Every structure is written in C-alpha cells, then in structure tokens.
Amino acid sequence: MKYPNNIIKSNQKNINYSNRGMSLEFDLNITNDYYRDKNIAVIYKKPTPIRVVNVDFTNIKKPIINKAFFEKASTTDYNGIYKGKYVDFEAKEVKSKKSFCLSNIHKHQLEHLFKVKEHKGISFIIVRFIKFNKTFLLDSEILLKFINKGNKSISIDLFNEYGYQVNEGYRPRVDYIKVIDHIYFGG
C-alpha cells in the first residue's frame, strides 16, 4: 500500500470518527471549512441542482418553492482552488466490502473529471468503504485507465494498490489535501 509520508502513522491511532453516524459528505464539508478557516485551500461542495417549477411569492421576502424536482448533476460535487491549481472531485460511500461499482458515478461526471485533467487541473475521486471505514483518493487518470481496460468496478485491493488512503482524524476530518500535496506537488 502506498502511503504519503505520515498520512497514517499507525492503524491503531487511526481513530474511527466517521463511524459516529457521520457521512463522507459531512466529513468533507467540515474538512473544507477547516481548509478555508486555515487559508489552506478554497474548496466547496456545489449546491444540489434543483429545477424549480412553482414558487409562492405571498411572502415576497421569503418566497416558498412549492414544486421542484431534483436534477442530475452535470458536473462533480466538489471544486475549488489549492496552490493556484484547479481542484475537482466526486466523493462516494460504498457499502460493499469488495469493490466500488463505477455506475455510481454518472458518465458525464466521469467525462468532466477527465476534461479537467486535460485542462491541467487536479481531479480525482474519493471513495469510502464504510464497512472498513477506509477512505481512498484515486487520481482520475488512473481511473480512466481502469475504465479503458473495461473495468465495471474497482476493488478495494486496486484502491489499496493504485490509490492513496486518506487519513481520518479530528481536524481536519479527512485530510485529502495531504494526499494532493504528495501526489501533485511532491510534498
């Protein structure tokens, strides 16, 4: 398993915060808050795309949307800036103990990740296997290679071999910037 320096010092010390009923999305949001507070990076989760059909303007200061539908996201959930570079990623939790099924990410989201890479940005997926409480970062170039090989899913063993485990702690909760530093900035 490839670990960036000090990302995980000891498995025993790796306290399981994400088992406290917290989701990966929640963990990433407070991690991003932390990065912004400390002025490390400016990365946000995008709002969920919603198609508004009807709005009640009776209270003009606080209109109520009373008919709307969820829409498919055309891009990934997270993007922002780190050390001047554009950063873009999608994050997913997996219940399976064995593998991450690629159908969990829409085709246009995958294309978006590869497009970002083409434009010299940093793009990857973050996948958490909740049964093992292990969170991995996998670069989108490696992801593309698996897809081109015909893979329909990526096993936890492949994440172990080709991805990077992301340290989980108190602050920051999921320190993926440490992995970015290691992979893309030689840190």
Each residue 107-136 as x (binds its own copies by CB under 8 A) or -, in order, gives -----x--xx-xxxx---------------
Binding its own copies by CB under 8 A: which of 46, 97, 98, 145? 46
**DSSP 8-state symbol, 174:** B
Question: Which three-class secondary structure state does DSSP give residue 102?
Answer: helix
Nearer to its own copies, 116 or 138 (CB): 116
106 binds its own copies (CB under 8 A): no
What's the rounded Cα separation, in Å, for the pair 24 and 1?
22
DSSP bridge partners of 165: 136
19 binds its own copies (CB under 8 A): no
Residues 6+ apart with CB under 8 A from 57: 63
Provide, rounded to whole angstroms, the least separation between the CB of residue 79 and its own copies. Answer: 6
16 binds its own copies (CB under 8 A): no
Strands (DSSP E) found in the chain: 42-45, 50-56, 64-70, 78-82, 85-94, 99-101, 122-129, 134-139, 153-155, 164-165
Binding its own copies by CB under 8 A: which of 10, 13, 47, 150? 47
Residue indicated by tokens 């064995």: 98
How many residues bind its own copies (CB under 8 A)? The answer is: 41
Provide, rounded to whole angstroms, the least separation between the CB of residue 37 and its own copies. Answer: 11
- For its own copies, the binding residues (CB under 8 A) are 36, 39, 41-42, 44, 46-50, 52, 62-71, 73-75, 79-88, 112, 115-116, 118-121
